[in-house]
Chain A
Amino acid sequence: MSAPPSGPAPAASSSGLDPGRAARLAGEVARRDIRTRWMLSLPAIAIVTAAAAGPLLIVLVYSFLTPGPYGNVEWRFSPDAWINVVLQKDIFDDTWQWADAHLRIFWRSLELSFLTTALTLVLGVPTAWFIATRNERTRVVWLFLITIPFWTNLLIRTIAVMELIRNEGVINSALIGLGLIEQPIQMMFTDFAIALGMTYVYLPLMVLPVYASIEKLDFRLVEAGYDLYASRRKMFLRIILPLVKPGIIAGSILVFIPSLGAYVTPRVLGGGKNLMLGNLIELQFGQGRNWPLGAALAITLMAMVMVALLYYVHVTGRGRRWHG
């Protein structure tokens, strides 16, 4: 704390420069430093803008154009894509009606994302608690065991689930082999399969942030509760849960967001009938040949994710202030 970065004045007076000139020089140095920093950031900025962020604007433009007959678009303005997100024109009497097929998919996406979040909570919170209460050396090992699946290929993990639950898969073969069932139980291509698969692939996203907040938990507070004759249930609900809440919220959002935008897991496990939003979007660029509608749906999905993300920032920002 000996030299607070408040200004160049002390240094200037000791080297005998007049303060005004010193300030100008310091300003020039700072400006150059900032210019260098911008130059250094430029390649990253350029690549991300060109091949990730920038094209999003084109999606917005495309959502207001007319679909071309063989895919792509014609450069004519049309609001139809946005209307078609939720409404459709009756073929016979030209009246507008709810686009039931789309609404069903929106609903399924939300429902399955909430279900996945709930399931990962049920499994993830105890797991995080378990890891956080190990001694330091074994804790690293358990953490590593959670992290490894997180960084292994999502497609492969989905295939692993598929091989368990398909009709010729491990579970059905075992049950038939044991004589418990005669016909395989149809688990693939159901909403259950999608929820199971997403729970499986996104579970680490719940465990890691919850673990981080349990690790910071001051267990003396829990012991104080014990000393004051709180019941175990009360201790959990009144002391532990409020303190771990930021981690639980973070984990829930981190699971909810990729679930909502999931594409691979519902494609592999849900098949052609049980679409989620990601698959509906893809459909418009493939067989659907309605790029503007696909673009409008993509922006809708992005907006839904942004809402969840802003809530996350809001909550974690507040959490940080609480803990100083």
Chain B
Amino acid sequence: MSGWRNRGQPFSSRRIPGFAGIALATFALLYAPIAILVIYSFNAGLSIAIWEGFSLKWYVQAWNNEAVQEATLRSLGVASVAATVATLAATMAALATTRTRPFRGMTAIYTLINQPLMVPEIVTAVALLIFFAIIKVATGYTGIVYLVAAHTAFCIPFAYLPIRARLESMDLSLERAAADLYATPWMTFRRVTLPLLWPGIMAGFMLAFVISLDDVVITEFVKSAGQETLPTYMLGQIRRVMTPEVNAISTALLLAGVVFVTLFFALSRKR
């Protein structure tokens, strides 16, 4: 019942028996599968479960695989364009929807911008499949623009939220000071607001880039023939015989993700 009273250690309101154990086990469970995935990407043998010595051959094979090269370049291209456009649009929208008294329609703008976060991805994917099918029939165009447009749309809320957070925590007095010193609104924005906001913009960009790079569902439904991105390529591959090549690609993609997220954290913590 109240057995802890009799124990040697003093009472702590922050200790619940068993919780630390479960927590540490959870962390172990969270990282074990990823660790195994990474380790076997360096396996010399064919197996993803039997260790046959260290080798980089699967990285070399993935690097020389033309389909992988093409998918990687497409993933990076789509993510760069989508994240850039999304960040630009999100920055403008964030400037418009913060630091003011609520005006009519502001909640509507906010809800619309965050809409892609609220609808299951599969539903958006299906909706875009239908919508783009109509446009494809009408125009005959089947290029990469559909993919870029879809990625840009779902990247916008991810870029918007950190930028908005940054804006809301920013000090208004500096901009007022600039205005008092007869800076034009544009000068104030260019010389005061933008430099202060910059870490938030970069954080938003990083996040949008990672989200675009990782997307599977919407890409799978929107892509035309021959428009594989790295994740959809992998989704197709794992249906067949698994070789550590998939592990090698996964490890590379994981590394890219971790780098971007670390940058995101560093930027969004910056004062």
Q: A301 near B250 (CB under 8 angstroms)?
A: no
Q: Does A159 contact B (CB under 8 A)?
A: yes
Q: Does A115 contact B (CB under 8 A)?
A: no
- Number of A-B residue pairs, CB cutoff 8 Å, is 276
Q: A55 near B130 (CB under 8 angstroms)?
A: yes
Q: Does A5 contact B (CB under 8 A)?
A: yes
Q: B149 near A126 (CB under 8 angstroms)?
A: no
Q: A163 near B33 (CB under 8 angstroms)?
A: yes
Instruction: Give the Cβ gap from A224 to chain B, nearest Cβ, in Å.
Output: 9
B residues in contact with A149, CB < 8 Å: 30-31, 34
Q: B49 near A151 (CB under 8 angstroms)?
A: no
Instruction: For A48, give its contact among B36, B115, B254, B257 (CB under 8 Å).
Output: B115
Instruction: For A160, give its contact among B33, B119, B264 (CB under 8 Å).
Output: B33
Known: A148-B258, A302-B123. A37 touches B49 (CB 8 A): no
Instruction: Give the Cβ gap from B233 to chain A, nearest Cβ, in Å.
Output: 10
Instruction: Give the Cβ gap from B3 to chain A, nearest Cβ, in Å.
Output: 8
Docked Cα-Cα span, A124 to B221, in Å, equals: 33
A residues in contact with B210, CB < 8 Å: 151
Say what secondary structure dominates the interface of chain B: helix
Docked Cα-Cα span, A200 to B31, in Å, equals: 10
Contacting residues of chain B (89-115) with chain A, CB-CB under 8 angstroms: 89-90, 92-93, 95-97, 100-101, 103-106, 109, 112-113, 115
Docked Cα-Cα span, A159 to B112, in Å, equals: 33
Contacting residues of chain B (35-89) with chain A, CB-CB under 8 angstroms: 36-37, 40, 47-50, 85-86, 88-89
Instruction: Give the Cβ gap from B178 to chain A, nearest Cβ, in Å.
Output: 18
A residues in contact with B47, CB < 8 Å: 168, 173
Q: A48 near B153 (CB under 8 angstroms)?
A: yes
Q: A53 near B19 (CB under 8 angstroms)?
A: no
Instruction: For B19, give its contact among A126, A168, A170 (CB under 8 Å).
Output: A126
Q: B217 near A264 (CB under 8 angstroms)?
A: yes
Known: A44-B113, A133-B14. A160 touches B36 (CB 8 A): yes
Q: B19 near A51 (CB under 8 angstroms)?
A: no
Using a CB–CB cutoff of 8 Å, the interface residues on chain A facing chain B are: 5, 33-34, 36-41, 43-45, 47-56, 58-59, 62, 72, 122-124, 126-127, 129-131, 133, 142, 144-149, 151-157, 159-164, 166, 168-170, 172-174, 200, 203, 219, 222-223, 226, 229, 231-233, 236, 257-258, 260-261, 263-264, 267-268, 277-278, 281-282, 285, 291, 294-295, 298-299, 301-302, 305-306, 309
Can you give 12 A-B contacts (C-beta < 8 A)? A39-B96, A44-B92, A44-B113, A51-B128, A52-B115, A58-B134, A123-B29, A147-B261, A173-B50, A222-B13, A281-B126, A294-B126
Using a CB–CB cutoff of 8 Å, the interface residues on chain B facing chain A are: 1-2, 4, 11, 13-27, 29-34, 36-37, 40, 47-50, 85-86, 88-90, 92-93, 95-97, 100-101, 103-106, 109, 112-113, 115-116, 118-131, 133-134, 149-150, 152-154, 156, 160, 210, 213-214, 216-217, 221, 231, 234-235, 238, 242, 246-247, 250, 253-254, 257-258, 261, 264-265
Can you list the 8 inter-chain pairs with the closest CB atoms, starting with the nearest?
Answer: A261-B120, A130-B23, A51-B153, A160-B33, A55-B127, A222-B13, A55-B131, A40-B96
